[in-house]
Amino acid sequence: MEKAYKLLAQQEEISNKRAKELIDRGLVYVGDQKVKIARAELPDETRFRIEYPAEVEILHQDSDLVVVNKPAFIDSYEIEEAIEGARLLHRLDRDTSGVLLLARNEAFAKKAIEAFRQRKVGKEYVAWVEGVVVEPLEIDLPIHTIRKGKAFSKIDRKLGKPALTRVFPDEIQGKKSKVRVTIDTGRTHQIRVHLAHVGHPIVGDEQYGSPTRAKRTLLHAKKITLLGRSYEAPEPADIRRYK
């Protein structure tokens, strides 16, 4: 028996640090099971599979703005660091794919941030959720985020900040539903918390109660409208159709 990251380092002929990083980012599998704990003890004969993220696709760029299609398993800040002179205007969770906006200059950044603050930015997502959704839902419940270690949000009518999520059914496959989601606010994990609260956690979102194991939380930021311009990211294969 040996620690997972050490076995992976030996198998791939990489450093222990790099192996641990790959596991921490959720890219390493044994069969169909994701390796979640880098220091977990595993048999010496364990064979790993690494699933690297897709390439970052630039959807649009000009003197003010860079719009990218962020793959799952990449942090928003990694993209910011990779694009010289660009500044994130918002962020997506590591597991979430889709439209990500970065400003190229301070003047545009100020205008964009003010639009976010005034809730004048349109945000549309697509997700696969647990259960059958046949009618539109409107979830208007305040969210409070706890930031000790890994961020966790919950419905809290006393401490929470206003949050409104609208859900529209799109497709049903067995006991899973594909839904379109729009939000005006952008609370941490808002869509995930709201959908879980009404009994439809996002598929693969174990943190908020999904019983289904998946390679990631099946949430995609499909479209953003900012300052009169709209940008859309095509749905990846795992969003276009659930298995």
Q: Do the Cβ atoms of 107 and 93 come closer than 8 Å?
A: no
Q: Which residues pair with 89 in a beta bridge?
A: none
Nearest Cα residue to 219 out of 129, 133, 131, 127: 127
Per the annotation, the verdict on 75 as an active-site residue is no
d(CA 152, CA 154) in angstroms, rounded, equals 7
239, 220 Cβ separation under 8 angstroms: yes
Catalytic residue among 32, 62, 93, 156: 93
Q: Cβ-count burial of 133 within 10 angstroms (0-12 exposed, 13-18 middle, 19+ buried)?
A: buried
Best CA proximity match to 242, nearest among 165, 167, 179, 166: 179
Active site amino acids: 93
